[in-house]
Structure 1
Amino acid sequence: MWLNRILVITAVTLAVPAAPASAVPDLDTGAVERLVTGFAARSGYPGVAVAITKGDRVLHTAGYGDVTDRTLMPIASLSKSFTALAVMRLVEAGRLTLDTPIREHLPGLPERITVRHLLHQTSGITDRTLREKSLPQPSSPAGAAERAKAATPASEPGSDYSYTNTNYHLLARLVEVVTGERFGDHLTRNVFTPLDMTDTINIDQTPRDLPNQVKTGHVYAVGVSMRAVEPTRFVGGSDGVITTARDMGRWLAAQHGTRVLSATGMAAMRTPSGPDHSYAMGWNTDDDGTIKHDGIWFTYTASALIRPSGYGVAVLGDSGFSLATGGTPALARDLARLLEGGDPGTPAPTRLITDLVLLALTTGTVLLGIRRLRGAATWPDRRLPLLRLVPRALPVALFVSLPYILGAGVGGGRDITFLQVVYVVPMLVLWSAAAAGMNAATIVARGAAVFRRRRVARAEENVKA
């Protein structure tokens, strides 16, 4: 299966030429608009921009809602494919090798980690060994590399896949050290400009470096998309590219040529690190030959994919990810199906239903909590009454542990702070907070009632004595 995947990816990379006009079907832009606007309405996205390509031709770019195809929008982790391309250009120029130990250029980092390991996310560094979002955020790639010196690999480099932004932070710093240029400047000169991506920029830290042209993104709760400032995070190399749908069309089209990298280099970027891995170099791969990547900020999301048919799709949305919607990956997939003449799939899941359920649970939790508090004074003083209050501490523990539970259970071990959890699932946080608060109040009220009754009982016994 793995060999078949490599053969398909290589064939797509090497064999797709510029498509002649007769080979490119007419695009039903009305169908695209209906699919995109329907998704945006159901999923709570105020604005969505798309780019559609076939081979090395841009077929369509457009914005819907409050964005256009020239609106600057973050593409989050789609940035990793840009970082990987910058590194591979240095490899082809002979300034690096894929098996160069990074310690040769970045002293003090863990041993045996190579450039290849960072690109493939197999360095052994994980979000659990370096909690990149919870720790103080660096302001530059140099600071990120200094912070990474504290990382202890969870496994032997090259053996296990573990997605972490730290690997691509280190690649950004590696580019700076090898070239003597700021990473963003290097991307502009060697990637954006050659591909005529004239509106595209790179930043190091949010929200500090966001230009004024980038509108504040959104979080969603109970049918309302609310503007929210992106939390402070270091994003250089991992998810710092800010671009437009128009420029993303040029990026997708360039994946079918050799304008900035050889065909062999392109194929290498799309080849996973091993039979059990699907991550290549800044791209994910599917068994059918699709290459793709998704990106998540807390106030923006983005997706890009290239199908073996030659169709490419990029989707940029100005609202953050949540557990209640498939987000931009679902829309990118459905657009690809539409382009290939298939069924776009089921309607996008709605955040509203999930949030209304959570709101109902929150209301019920508060009402039941008030009822318990009113009856606290008459709570029966049975055997070991305080021990019976211990289960009431469980909602408190769950509330405090939300970042760890969501990071492990949903994020595959990714790091996330409590503030960032609020951005992703505000109504879940509200319900958890209500459950924790009402149960903590119940513990206090019932415990106080028990002590009060016992004090009165002792006083009465003393009077009788």
Structure 2
Amino acid sequence: MDTDRIVTRLTALTRDHLVPGAQIAVHRAGRTWTHEVGLPVEAAVPIGSITKTFTATVAMALVSDGDLDLDAPLSDHLPVVADGLTLRHLLSHTGGLPSDPDDVRATSLGRHVRQALRELHPLHRPGAGFSYSNIGYCLIGHLIEVATGMSWSEAVEAVLLRPLGLRARFTTGSDPDVVTGHAVNPTTGRVVPVRQSLAPVDAPAGALAASATDLVTFGRMLGGAAPRLIDPDELALMREPVRHAEPFGMADGWGLGLALFHRDGVRWVGHDGTADGTSCHLRVNPADDTAVALTTNGSTGFALWRELVPELAAAGLPVADYDGMSGLHHRIAPPPDCAGSFRNGDVEYAVRAVDREHLALTVDGEPFADLSLFDGLVFAMRDSDTGDTNQTGRFLRDPGDGGIRWIQIGGRLARRQVSTMS
């Protein structure tokens, strides 16, 4: 592994993307190597949705101990939960739950999930498909509280952080040791510090802050390295693809709390996460105990990561990542029923035809992207703000009547709204 090349390219990419600070940590061949640009090595960066993997790991530790069951009905714990919904569904985002409600009024995790389950309409029956769900992970957090008698944060501390020796922090308070994120405008060159805004009741879905070194330590445990905090069989389940879990636009597959990525016949596992003004990434190859983590405190960190991955490969570290653009080949004209209104919870996705070849997407009435359609109803997205074209999504047809029923963007499904007007 050419660490000099990685240092040179990471330094240049942080400058190119106006990212104030970044950390990279790599464990390979029995050694851990780290490098930082503009951040201390131990600084805790808000890791956003990588928190979900911590929540999932605590839940799987409880499954190992017999305190939770992957396939028992969750209605045993919460009467408002739909029949047939299980912990396995929640961990793999196959429960049919929307992402999250816009209006968070509850002050406790239990009340929050009960309110959301009463008010949000499911996207499909449990187990029938994949839709990335924050509220699903809040529900897992509540199950952890019920099973342990501790708060979610106390359980994470007791089950993971202390045994692994991690210096992770929580972003829902006013911890001065949590790194500040930055909103970056690449067009104007403006870089503005931003505060973390995640509500405390959403903590199980995204409230941890950690260094790249912490993430590598955590990732190696998920790959099977010591200390072994979960039974090997349950740990292996986390890394296996779940049936019907098709996270189009995010990863090549999904396990129980872990995204799956393929490269050159090798399966890597991990997760990506964005918080307010941060972007962080974790990849683990369980076959050879390799783990790679990048943390950044700029909103353009995701674009930085996308450019860094091929540089890592050129430096002798072929890390797997998702590339939805590689499967786009033959452009097609959009069918008329692509247009319409689609909804995921409180969020409305509206699609309209611009001309014979292009569609325009708005989210809650705001311009979001221009869409170009390809075979399989897959589309490339041109971001309305940045002009970036490295994201993909797709339309999905109803297996019954053949009509377009869903749109999937960033792993989230939105269901077509049927007009009630006569």
TM norm structure 1 = 0.63
Q: Does 1:93 align with 2:72?
A: no
Residue 82 (structure 1) shift: 0.9
Unaligned 5+ runs, structure 2: 247-252, 322-360, 373-382, 388-422
1:417 paired residue number: none
1:216 to 180, 196, 201: 180
Residue 321 (structure 1) shift: 4.5
SS at match of 1:100: coil
Over 3 Å counting, the alpha-carbon distance change for 1:399 and 1:141 in structure 2 is closer
Q: Does 1:108 align with 2:108?
A: no
2:241 paired residue number: 272
Moved over 6 A (4+): 397-400, 424-428
Q: Structure 2 counterpart of 1:256, which letter?
A: G
Over 3 Å counting, the alpha-carbon distance change for 1:398 and 1:242 in structure 2 is closer
- Summarize the alignment of residues 245-394 of structure 1 with structure 2, pairs less than 5 Å apart: 245-254=212-221, 255-257=223-225, 259-274=228-243, 277=246, 278-287=253-262, 288-307=266-285, 308-321=287-300, 326-332=303-309, 334-335=311-312, 338-340=315-317
1:401 paired residue number: 365
CA contact (8 A) 1:53 1:252 kept: no
1:393 paired residue number: none
Over 3 Å counting, the alpha-carbon distance change for 1:179 and 1:406 in structure 2 is farther
Residue 212 (structure 1) shift: 1.3
Q: Give, in whole Å, the separation in 2 of the partners of 1:267 and 1:319.
A: 34
Q: Give, in whole Å, the separation in 1 of the partners of 2:243 and 2:202.
A: 27
Q: Structure 1 counterpart of 2:315, which letter?
A: L
CA contact (8 A) 1:315 1:331 kept: no
More helix by share: 1
Q: Does 1:159 align with 2:128?
A: yes
Residue 164 (structure 1) shift: 1.4
Over 3 Å counting, the alpha-carbon distance change for 1:241 and 1:223 in structure 2 is same
Superposed CA deviations along residues 208-254 of structure 1, whole A, max 9, x for unmatched, are x1411123210112123211223344531111111122322311232
Paired residue total? 321
Q: Give, in whole Å, the separation in 2 of the partners of 1:181 and 1:399.
A: 38
2:3 to 5, 13, 29: 29
SS at match of 1:149: helix
CA contact (8 A) 1:283 1:291 kept: yes
- Summarize the alignment of residues 1-80 of structure 1 with structure 2, pairs less than 5 Å apart: 28-54=2-28, 57-65=30-38, 67-80=39-52
CA contact (8 A) 1:293 1:304 kept: yes
2:337 paired residue number: none
Residue 260 (structure 1) shift: 0.7
CA contact (8 A) 1:40 1:47 kept: yes
SS at match of 2:84: coil
Q: Give, in whole Å, the separation in 2 of the partners of 1:284 and 1:110.
A: 25
1:370 paired residue number: none
Q: Give, in whole Å, the separation in 1 of the partners of 2:27 and 2:303.
A: 23
Structure of greater Rg: 1
Q: Give, in whole Å, the separation in 2 of the partners of 1:76 and 1:141.
A: 18
Over 3 Å counting, the alpha-carbon distance change for 1:315 and 1:398 in structure 2 is closer
RMSD over equivalenced CA pairs, Å: 2.9
Q: Give, in whole Å, the separation in 1 of the partners of 2:282 and 2:136.
A: 21
Over 3 Å counting, the alpha-carbon distance change for 1:168 and 1:268 in structure 2 is same
Q: Give, in whole Å, the separation in 1 of the partners of 2:135 and 2:81.
A: 12
Q: Give, in whole Å, the separation in 2 of the partners of 1:140 and 1:60.
A: 41
1:225 to 191, 195, 200: 191
Over 3 Å counting, the alpha-carbon distance change for 1:232 and 1:94 in structure 2 is closer
1:240 paired residue number: 207
Superposed CA deviations along residues 367-415 of structure 1, whole A, max 9, x for unmatched, are xxxxxxxxxxxxxxxxxxxxxxxxxxxxxx9797117x46999xxxxxx
Identity score, percent: 22
Q: Give, in whole Å, the separation in 2 of the partners of 1:264 and 1:333.
A: 33
Superposed CA deviations along residues 151-203 of structure 1, whole A, max 9, x for unmatched, are 22211101110001111111001100111001101111111111111x11345
Q: Structure 1 counterpart of 2:214, which letter?
A: D
More strand by share: 2
Q: Give, in whole Å, the separation in 1 of the partners of 2:58 and 2:69.
A: 13
Q: Structure 2 counterpart of 1:179, which letter?
A: T
CA contact (8 A) 2:281 2:293 kept: yes
